[in-house]
Amino acid sequence: MLANPTLLQRKYARIIRLIAEHRGLPYEQAFDLFYRSKTFELISEGVADMHCLSDEYLAEEVEREIKGETL
């Protein structure tokens, strides 16, 4: 299922903010990490309704992906 594009953009912004806060990065770097992640790809393709998961969980997924723990 695909989500409303406007709502997805807002969700992406919240996830990027969380990544920046958790890693102590400027938003530009967090933005780059998120948009290059497999997690972003899965969300944007509507795989398994990942957009329905919490922002915190998805930010943690990106963190795990960066560390090489998942995906």
The distance from CA 36 to its chain's CA centroid, rounded to whole angstroms, is 10
Q: Which range marks the domain in which residue 53 is found?
A: 5-67
Rounded to whole angstroms, the Cα distance separating 21 from 6 reads: 23
34: nearest Cα among 52, 49, 22: 22
For residue 9, the one-letter residue type is Q
Question: Residue 1 has which token pair?
Answer: 């299922």
The distance from CA 31 to its chain's CA centroid, rounded to whole angstroms, is 9
Q: Model-level pTM?
A: 0.90
Asked if residue 2 has pLDDT above 80, the reply is no
Give how many domains the chain has, as a whole number: 1
Q: Provide the mean pLDDT of the chain.
A: 92
Asked if residue 24 has pLDDT above 90, the reply is yes
